[in-house]
Each structure stands twice: as C-alpha cells, then as structure tokens.
Amino acid sequence: MNKLIEQTEHYKIYEADFLGYTQTFRQWANNVVEIKFNDNFAKANGFKDRENMLNCDKGMMIEALLSACGNIPEWINVSENGFTVRNTQNNHSLN
C-alpha cells in the first residue's frame, strides 16, 4: 500500500499504483481487503473500462452481480483466491 488517504475506526483507505493505474484499497479492522471496482481496476486488468470488463469477462457477469448484490458493487474483496463479491442483496450499505 502506498498512500493512506482516509482512516476511520473501521477501515483505512489506501491508494497504490498498479501498471500505471491508481488503485484504491480499503482495509477493514479485521484485515479484509477490498479494491474499488472502477475503470482503473478494469484497465489494470486489460479492459477498456469497467463497462467493457462487465460485458467481456465471464467471471463478472452483470446478471450474477445483480443477483448477489442487487447492484454493481463499488468494492470487491481481494484474497489469496482472487477477487470475490459479498452477497449484499439484503444490505445495500455494504456496497
């Protein structure tokens, strides 16, 4: 993590450069790490933008995200197993 940009009692938000794109990370007090799901995330993963990623990446199926989250999530989890989303269908404040 390069630059701390916000800190609360629940999480810290950092910015870091990855492949020339600024990525925003949120690290929760329990050490869960999330990355902001935005155009820079998509570009660092080889896509034109977030919309292009959602339309082209089978793992980012819009229908699956809408079913699990009720909307396209703002943040996605980062773990040793890759990227995942939390099922937040009943709690939109988690997105």
Bridge partners for 34 per DSSP: 26, 77
pLDDT at position 72 is: 79
pLDDT at position 2 is: 83
pLDDT at position 16 is: 95
- Contact of 69 with 85, CB cutoff 8 Å: yes
Coil vs helix vs strand at 47: coil
The helix (run of H) or strand (run of E) holding residue 39 is: helix 39-44
Enter the DSSP assignment of 30.
T
Chain-centre distance for alpha carbon 66: 15
95 residues of the chain, pLDDT tens digit each: 589 999 999 999 999 998 899 999 999 999 999 999 999 999 998 999 998 888 887 666 666 666 667 777 889 888 787 766 664 444 444 43
